[in-house]
């Protein structure tokens, strides 16, 4: 599974701009996750896909004015999670059950999770 982690402006229409990049290149996104983040006025979006060209979308996404940061995360994991613990932001990847367990163990911490649509 390939994951793109995006920091974006929080506002209406942002998701449309992001998905338009993939529409233009005929890439289907398997998983979309979006939610508020620690920075004010910003949101974090996680996109996952199996498409071979998915990685090359990093530069295309940087062109979108509302996208502040793009990070490409390649892993063979089934699932991916981003957890905000008191110690800071950390990423968890691995088998779906493992990720679930790790997220569970961080009791009360805010998190977002993505599962590969396999």
Partner 1 sequence: MKGARAAVEMLEEHGVRVAFGHPGGACLPLYDELYSSKIRHVLVRHEQNAGHMADGYARVLKRPGVCIATSGPGATNLVTGIATAYMDSSPIVAITGQVATSVMGNDAFQEVDAFGIMMPIVKHNWRIEKADDVPRVFREAFHVCTDGRFGPVHIDLPLDVQRDEVSDAAVKQKYTARKVRKKDLSRLLDAIRFIEQADEPVILVGGGGRWSQAGPEILRLSELIGAPVVTTLMGKGSVPEDHPLVLGPVGMHGKMVATHTLNCGDTIVALGTRFSDRSTGKLSEFGKQQKIVHVDIDSSEIAKNVTNVVGLVGDLFTVVHALIAGLERRALKKQTPWLERVAQWKRECACMFDYHGQPVLPQKIIWELNRLLPDDAILTTEVGRHQMWAEHFFDVRQKRMFITSGGLGTMGFGFPAAIGAKIAAPDRFVMDLAGDGSLQMTMKEFATARENGVNVSVVVMNDGYLGMVWQWQKMWYDGRYSAVDLGRIPDFVKIAEAYGCEGIRVEREGELADAIVQSQKSDVPCLVDVVIDPNELMLPIMPPGKSAKEVILGPRCIWKGGQTVASPVPARS
**Which residues sit at the interface with partner 1, rule CB under 8 A?**
13, 16-17, 20, 24, 56, 59-60, 62-63, 65-66, 68
Which of residues 9 and 90 has its CB atom nearest to partner 1 in the complex? 9
Task: Give the integer Cα–Cα distance in Å for 58 and 36.
Answer: 21
**How buried is 66 (Cβ within 10 angstroms: 0-12 exposed, 13-18 middle, 19+ buried)?**
middle
Cβ proximity to partner 1: between 24 and 95 the closer is: 24
| Angstrom distance (rounded) from CA 100 to CA 81 | 9
**Least distance in angstroms from the C-beta of 59 to partner 1:** 4
- In the complex, least distance from residue 56 CB atom to partner 1, rounded to whole angstroms: 8
């Amino acid at each position: 599974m390939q994951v793109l982690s995006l920091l974006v402006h929080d506002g209406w229409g942002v998701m449309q701009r992001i998905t338009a990049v993939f529409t233009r290149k005929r890439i289907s996104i398997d998983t979309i996750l979006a939610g508020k983040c620690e920075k004010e006025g910003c949101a974090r979006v996680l996109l996952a896909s199996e498409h071979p060209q998915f990685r090359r979308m990093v530069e295309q996404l940087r062109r979108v004015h509302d996208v502040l940061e793009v990070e490409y995360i390649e892993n063979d994991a089934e699932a991916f999670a981003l957890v905000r613990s008191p110690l800071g932001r950390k990423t968890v990847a691995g088998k779906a059950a493992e990720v679930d367990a790790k997220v569970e163990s961080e009791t009360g911490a805010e998190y977002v999770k993505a599962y590969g649509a396999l």
